[in-house]
Amino acid sequence: MTSPGKRSVNKWLLHAVLAVLAVITLIPYLWLIIASLKGQDDFFSAIFFPPGDGPLGIGWDKLTLNNYRELYELGFQKNLINSVFYSATTALFATLICAATGFVLAKHRFRGRNLITLVVLGALIVPPTLLLAPGYELLYDIGLLDTAWGLLLPLLAPAFGVFLFRQAVIQSVPDELLEAARIDGCSEWSIFFIVVLPLVRPMIGAFMLITFLAMWNNFISPQIVLQSAEKQPLSVAISQLRGVYKTDYGLLTAATVVSVLPVAALFLILQKQFISGLTSGAVKG
Amino acid sequence: MRSGEIDRSRVVFSWAMLAPFLALFIIFVVYPLIQSAFLAANQTFGPGTRTYVGTKNFQLLFSDPVFWKSIWNTFIYALGSLFIQLPIAFLLALALNSRKLRGKGIYRLIFFSPQLMGLVFVSILGALAFEKRAGLVNQAIAFITQNPKYLEIDWLQQHVMATLILISLWLYVGFNMIYFLAALQSVDRSLMEAAEIDGASAWGKLRHVIFPSVKPVATFVVLLSMIGSLQLFELPYILLEGSGGPGNRGLTIVMYLYQNGFDLGDLGYASAIGWVLALILIGLALVQVKLTRAQEVGQ
């Protein structure tokens, strides 16, 4: 048996290792935020805060919001709005479409159901990169290149989402409940909206968040589909910014902060609701 | 009579619910998938300019040294993730799984947090942090060693693969840790206690109790990590600004696909690359299914 003394040494060692790793994980954020507040000259004078006469030996007066002002003057806020629009639209419609499809494939009987289910499951193994070239050619043929439609429509029917919602419905929507609603005179449409959707709410929340984040971080689709600079989301705009202002570290770090902050905040706010949503489902079940 | 009407209205409802998905799925997944097979047998100069070349794309591809280079790079990266990233993620999960540890939730959130930034923005941050002179990494190394010569380490040109593996380590370790944590929580408590009473060593517990029960999740994480790694694109594309780097030492398979299809306009050659990659990925998935089956039979 290990002695209590050895145990507590082990415990402190474990904490020390974890703390070092946590600091390594966190330092890039700190560096990023401070860098976005520095002028170009202070970049080489210190890793973090520029030295000076202020408290803690830091030149607080050298910190500036100029980088953010410059971003605004370059019209970066337009790209921010584009990202919000693309991500919100995709999250909303992909969730609705996948929930509807998943529900019908799980609970309704009709000819062709098994074939469709099989094809959707089969589509899960198709790597998205295989569809890049033919998808681009298709958008060219139907005249949707460089349009929001061309960017969004191909992303609104992910087989993965149908699979997830089909599983969620099978797990948390009992047949008896659907029959009871039908006997009470509910139409099939109101059964879907009033009975089914609330029962799979944890999956709706999780899938909306996943889809929103995936679209926010999507680079290759807008890079291929959109050509006009004013239509680009943040992901592409920031890489183009780097192409033009390669050594303007202040501007690039500020652009990264602006791009990342909204989604990080969204996740941190919603995180608790997802957990409570998931657990409330478990209690009811 | 009446039940027939109900059946019919339900069938109409089913198809109405399916219609948006089916329309989008057929137009934007099934049709392009079929076209990609045709495209692979053509050469194009931009969209809508096909010239039939038969199997020439594939012949060209297999004798194309740049393609082999991209396969080599991609596998080096994938194996790097597999043998460096996943063991670290597993050890972290083991550490955070101990019952008495304080601040578990905070550690978990911190290690997971890079995932919230997203690959593209992590790539930009990585590109800036690994710059010569001004970058965080070189400044930190020079500060710790007090030797300014380390400011000149040329990560982005000379050590591309190492840079890619280091950045993805920061990005993905916490993500994979979450899977392992979930798996560790399913380890049978009573089995652990029995092992403790029998005086099993830490290694004995790990080998005979923890490994067997984590194995299904571990094979899943390995597959997921391999599939993701083999499709690596954004990180090297942004670090190297669209080129493969000097001597293509950072070129990946999907980057080569992108360069051929969208920089040079040969969607046919790009599709051929896409098919080779798809077959590699499907092969991997089949191996995974086989392994899982073998495990189930073994138990």
Residue A275: its pLDDT value, please?
Answer: 53
Determine contact, residues B219/B244, Cβ cutoff 8 Å: no
Q: Are B120 and A239 within 8 A, CB to CB?
A: yes
The residues spanned by each domain of chain A are 4-64, 74-284
Q: What confidence tier does A280 reach under pLDDT thresholds 50, 70, 90?
A: very low
Q: Any idea which residue has 């984590």 for tokens?
A: B214
Restricting to A residues 19-78, those with a Cβ less than 8 Å away from any Cβ of B are 21-22, 24-29, 31-32, 35, 43-44, 47
Calculate the CA B23 to chain-centre distance: 29
The residues spanned by each domain of chain B are 56-99+172-298
Q: What confidence tier does A281 reach under pLDDT thresholds 50, 70, 90?
A: very low
Class of domain A74-284: mainly alpha
DSSP A149-160: HHHHGGGS--HH
Residue A98 near chain B (CB below 8 Å): yes
User: How far off is chain A from B283, nearest CA to CA, in Å?
Assistant: 10
User: How far off is chain B from A221, nearest CA to CA, in Å?
Assistant: 11
Q: Are A47 and B258 within 8 A, CB to CB?
A: no
Q: What confidence tier does A272 reach under pLDDT thresholds 50, 70, 90?
A: low
Instruction: Look at residue A99 and tell me whether its pLDDT is greater than 50.
Output: yes
Q: What confidence tier does A8 reach under pLDDT thresholds 50, 70, 90?
A: confident
Greater pLDDT, A8 or B166: B166
Residue B112 near chain A (CB below 8 Å): no
Q: Are A126 and B278 within 8 A, CB to CB?
A: yes
Residue B2: its pLDDT value, please?
Answer: 60
Determine contact, residues B177/B111, Cβ cutoff 8 Å: yes
Residues A129-176: pLDDT tens digits? 999 999 999 999 999 999 999 999 999 999 999 999 999 999 999 999
Which residues does chain B have within 8 Å of residue A24's beta carbon, measured at their own beta carbons? Answer: 170
Kind plus residue range of the DSSP H or E element containing B42: strand B42-44
Q: What is the mean pLDDT of residues A105-117?
A: 93
User: How far off is chain B from A141, nearest CA to CA, in Å?
Assistant: 7
Instruction: Look at residue A283 and tell me whether its pLDDT is greater than 50.
Output: no
Restricting to B residues 177-216, those with a Cβ less than 8 Å away from any Cβ of A are none
Q: Are B28 and A135 within 8 A, CB to CB?
A: yes
Residue A118 near chain B (CB below 8 Å): no
CB pairs under 8 A between A and B: 227
Kind plus residue range of the DSSP H or E element containing B52: strand B50-52
Pick from B24, B120, B237: CB nearest A217: B120
Residue A3: its pLDDT value, please?
Answer: 58
Residue B3: its pLDDT value, please?
Answer: 66
Residue A273: its pLDDT value, please?
Answer: 60
Q: Which residue of B has its CA nearest to A99?
A: B17
Restricting to A residues 216-235, those with a Cβ less than 8 Å away from any Cβ of B are 216-217, 219-220, 224, 235
Tokens of B185: 């929580």
Residue B1: its pLDDT value, please?
Answer: 43
Which residues does chain A have within 8 Å of residue B100's beta carbon, measured at their own beta carbons? Answer: 11
Q: Could you count the other beta carbons within 10 Å of the beta carbon of residue A129?
A: 21
Restricting to B residues 222-261, those with a Cβ less than 8 Å away from any Cβ of A are 227, 231, 233-234, 237-238, 241, 254, 257-258, 261
User: How far off is chain A from B110, nearest CA to CA, in Å?
Assistant: 6
Q: Which residue of A has its CA nearest to B30?
A: A123
Closest Cα to residue B227, out of B174, B267, B278, B289?
B278
Share of chain A above pLDDT 90, in %: 69
Residues A172-202: pLDDT tens digits? 999 999 999 999 999 999 999 999 999 998 8
Tokens of B299: 């138990």
Q: Are B25 and A137 within 8 A, CB to CB?
A: no
Instruction: Look at residue A22 and tell me whether its pLDDT is greater than 80.
Output: yes
Residue A133: its pLDDT value, please?
Answer: 96
Q: Which residue of A has its CA nearest to B285?
A: A125
Q: How far is CA A112 from CA A6, A119, A237, B8, in A?
A: 65, 11, 44, 15
Share of chain A above pLDDT 70, in %: 92
Q: Is B50 helix (H, G, I), strand (E, B) or coil?
A: strand
Residue B17 near chain A (CB below 8 Å): yes
Residue A4: its pLDDT value, please?
Answer: 61
A5-14, A38-47, B241-250: which has the highest mean pLDDT? B241-250
How far is Cα A127 from Cα B88, in angstroms, rounded to an integer? Answer: 28
Residue A245 near chain B (CB below 8 Å): no
Residue B237: its pLDDT value, please?
Answer: 96
Tokens of B124: 């930009």
Closest Cα to residue B256, out of B61, B119, B80, B126?
B61
Residue A284: its pLDDT value, please?
Answer: 36
Q: Are A137 and B48 within 8 A, CB to CB?
A: yes
CATH of B56-99+172-298, one of 3.30.230.10, 3.40.50.300, 3.30.1490.190, 1.10.3720.10: 1.10.3720.10
User: How far off is chain B from A236, nearest CA to CA, in Å?
Assistant: 9
Provide block-wise average pLDDT over 10 residues at a time, chain B (299 residues). 72 95 97 96 91 94 97 96 94 87 87 91 94 88 89 90 95 92 84 84 86 86 92 95 91 97 96 97 88 70
DSSP class of A103: H
Lowest pLDDT segment from A121-125, A166-170, A196-200, A245-249: A245-249
Q: Are B274 and A133 within 8 A, CB to CB?
A: yes
